[in-house]
Amino acid sequence: MRRGQPRDRSREPRRPQNVSEKKGSGTSRTARRESGIAYSRSLRFWLDPANVAVRLQQAGPVLRTRTGPAVAFQMNDPALLRKVGSSEDVFQFWGTDPCLEDVAGRGITGAEGRAHRERRAVMRPALAAPRLKGLGTSVWSRTRHLVDGIPSDRPVDVRYEMGRLAAGLVVETVLNSTLSPETLSGLARSRSAVSAGMIWKYTLSPWPWLPAPRQRAFRRAAALLDRASREVYDNHRPDPDGGDVVSLLKRASGDDRRAVEHDLYALLLAGIETTTGTLAWACYELGRHPEHQDALRAEADAAFGAAPSSEGVRAELLPRAAGFITEVTRVHGIPFLVRRTRDATCLGGQSLPARAVVTLPLGALRRDPARYARPDDFDPLRWSPDAQPPLSPGPVLAYGLGPRYCPGAAAADIMGPVALAGLVHARTFRMARPGRKVRVSLELTPTPKGLSMVVAPRTPRAEGAVPPQGPGPAADSGAGPGPGPQTGPGVGSCPVSGSGSAPAPAPGSGSGSDSDSDER
């Protein structure tokens, strides 16, 4: 919710105290909040499973929320959430919204229906897991190269440094191309102008007004992405067999260079945004948990040695790093996806007008105490293969669902753990100002604002440090797949009231609809 906007509190659902306690987590609301993070009010709303639980009890599976002129419908019920994410003919993907035409409207994010499916089909073979066998090795070596550029003698802005790293990895390892160091830095610097600008525009649509300075920054950032897509096209080095993603796009587009650039634009926009957020939050958690940092370093040493060869770097050798990244996504990932109704429709007993914003609260569901023990604690060991009962990452919906399921998911599954291993193998991450709260910006992927860390050369491994492999049974592993809110989706008779009032529906990222073969 934007500051200064009045809220009709009388229509808010009353929230019982400690809803999570009722569901058996045994933690108080105060304890449940991350102590080192200052969330904005709207983000707190999106991350709070109590909101979903209360709404399910008091307002039903679909809740009408309102802030000022912004009306949205939140899917409280996971089954309905999946339905919305899978029905693109009814619920329009944000990338195709006219208010975002100048950024997300390019390439696959802006395409719909058959055109979208065809474009996805062109990319799919290049981004599928079997094709990505060599990706780990190139991510490792590019991480080691890019990490050399991070100053070690003074505190650094982690969000910026991880933005540079993320841009370099996406361009060099996924797109087989290069960008000048200046362009990489520019992309890292301007990422949040695009990301936050998209939230503003979408929320305020059909009056996508932005304050003048924000509008200028947004336009400059979009123009830079455009230039970067052209550079990526020009500097592209095809794989010998021509099976890499840019080669496939070029072949499928014939002489239409602009069509390829538009897809590159979409891949850069989505890939850099999400990878930056994941790596920046991973650094934050490394700083807060030196014991996990030591264990990750030991795992990387054991997998690749003190002076790793450039051969055979595989994410499967890094289960601890993979669990760490999954936990980063669970705790800090995209808090909600958004869609818009195309026409008036009826869902969960609620009438939804045409062009209504529909929100899918992933962040709250990822903190469901019925599924995750101590859901606000950052505990990567809950994802240990030895945890009892084992937890499946599926319900985290890290990569969305339906036809918009992330096409870069298989690459990201390699990139995240291997880049993390490369970072801790080379450097030690410490908070520059321990105890200082980190603010979280509301962007497509929220990132830690002003996170300042010292990224020094790694300290030698202490004798008797944490053993390299096998995190062992997680003492506080997740409680196993719990039921979560269980109201069925039931498309009841309309209209039904049961609306409350809640913070503004600031959009998160996009979502997906009917099933795509990429979907897991």
Residues in binding site: 406
Considering only 223-231, 246-254, 266-274, 300-308, which stretch makes contact with ligand HEM by CB under 6 A?
266-274
Of positions 64, 164, 320, 404, contacts ligand HEM by CB under 6 A: 404
**Edge-to-edge strand list for the sheet holding 452-457:** 156-157, 452-457, 427-431
CB of 176 to ligand HEM, least distance (A): 12
User: Does the footprint of ligand HEM cover residue 109 (CB under 6 A)?
Assistant: yes
CB-nearer residue toward ligand HEM: 92 or 329: 329
Q: Are 233 and 76 in contact (CB under 8 A)?
A: no
Is 135 near ligand HEM (CB under 6 A)? Answer: no
162 binds ligand HEM (CB under 6 A): no
Helices (H) and strands (E) in the chain, counts: 17, 13
Contact flag: residue 400 with ligand HEM (CB under 6 A): yes
274 binds ligand HEM (CB under 6 A): yes
CB 127 within 8 A of CB 245: yes
Q: What dihedral do alpha carbons 177, 183, 186, 192 form, nearest 10°?
A: -20
The residue (of 50 and 165) whose beta carbon lies closer to ligand HEM is 165
Task: Report if residue 143 touches ligand HEM, rule: CB under 6 A.
Answer: no
Asked if residue 168 binds ligand HEM (CB under 6 A), the reply is no
Contact between 229 and ligand HEM (CB under 6 A)? no
To the nearest whole angstrom, how small is the minimum distance from the Cβ of residue 297 to ligand HEM?
Answer: 21
407 near ligand HEM, judged by CB under 6 A: yes
Question: CB of residue 2 vs ligand HEM: minimum separation in angstroms?
Answer: 21
* Exposed/middle/buried for residue 280 (C-beta within 10 Å: 0-12, 13-18, 19+): buried
Assess whether the previous peptide bond of 495 is cis (omega < 30° from 0): yes
Q: Least CB distance from residue 62 to ligand HEM, whole Å?
A: 19
Annotated binding-site ranges for heme: 406
| Cβ contact 422:147 at 8 Å | yes
Alpha helices in 205-289 (DSSP H): 212-235, 245-253, 257-288
Under rule CB under 6 A, residue 208 binds ligand HEM: no
Q: How far is the CB of 245 from ligand HEM (least distance, A)?
A: 8
Q: Is 514 left (phi over 0), alpha (psi -120 to 50) or beta?
A: beta
Name residues contacting ligand HEM, limited to 47-86 (CB under 6 A): none
Q: Considering only 251-259, 313-321, 327-335, 432-440, which stretch makes contact with ligand HEM by CB under 6 A?
A: 327-335
Nearer to ligand HEM, 174 or 222 (CB): 174
Beta strands 337-341; 448-449: pairing state? unpaired
357 binds ligand HEM (CB under 6 A): no
Regarding 270 and contact with ligand HEM (CB under 6 A), the answer is: yes
Q: Does 399 bind ligand HEM (CB under 6 A)?
A: yes
- Looking at residue 447, what DSSP letter applies? -
Instruction: Give whichever of 179 and 334 is closer to ligand HEM, judged by the CB atom.
Output: 334
Calculate helix-pair angle for 245-253, 113-127, nearest 10 degrees: 140
* Interaction mask 480-509, ligand HEM, x per CB under 6 A: -----------------------------x
Q: How far apart are CA 83 and CA 401, in angstroms?
A: 10
Interface with ligand HEM, residue 512, by CB under 6 A:
yes
> Residue 53 in contact with residue 453, Cβ under 8 Å?
no
Pairing of strands 156-157, 91-93: unpaired
How do beta strands 70-75 and 357-360 pair? Answer: parallel
Does 416 interact with ligand HEM (rule: CB under 6 A)? yes
Query: How crowded is residue 56: how many other Cβ atoms within 10 Å of its Cβ?
Result: 19
d(CA 140, CA 318): 12
Q: With respect to ligand HEM, which residue has the nearer C-beta, 88 or 301?
A: 88
Task: Give the one residue of 1, 412, 440, 442 binding ligand HEM; rule: CB under 6 A.
Answer: 412
- Binding of ligand HEM by 87 (CB under 6 A): no
Phi, psi of 325 (to 5 degrees): -65, -40
Tell me what percent of the chain is helix, strand and coil, each rounded to the nearest 5: 50, 10, 40
- 511 lies in the site for ligand HEM, by CB under 6 A: yes
DSSP 190-210: HHHHHHHHHHHHHHHTTS---
**108 binds ligand HEM per the rule CB under 6 A:** yes
| Binding segment toward ligand HEM, per CB under 6 A, in 30-38, 252-260, 340-348, 397-405 | 397-405
Least distance to ligand HEM from the beta carbon of 237, Å? 17
Identify the residue whose tokens are 């997740």. Answer: 478
Answer yes or no whether residue 103 interacts with ligand HEM by CB under 6 A.
Answer: no
**In this structure, what token pair is assigned to residue 264?**
């590159």
359 near ligand HEM, rule: CB under 6 A: no
Q: Judge contact between 420 and 326, C-beta under 8 A.
A: no
Binding status of residue 323 toward ligand HEM by CB under 6 A: no
Q: Which residues contact 112 (CB under 8 A, 6 or more apart)?
A: 88, 92, 93, 96
Q: Does 266 bind ligand HEM (CB under 6 A)?
A: yes
Total residues interacting with ligand HEM, rule: CB under 6 A = 31
Residue 176 within binding range of ligand HEM, rule CB under 6 A: no
CB of 415 to ligand HEM, least distance (A): 6
Q: Which is nearer to ligand HEM, 244 or 301 (CB)?
A: 244
Residue with token string 């982690």: 158
Residue numbers at the binding site for ligand HEM (CB under 6 A): 95, 108-109, 120, 170, 174, 266-267, 270-271, 274-275, 278, 329, 333-334, 337, 398-400, 404, 406-408, 411-412, 416, 509-512
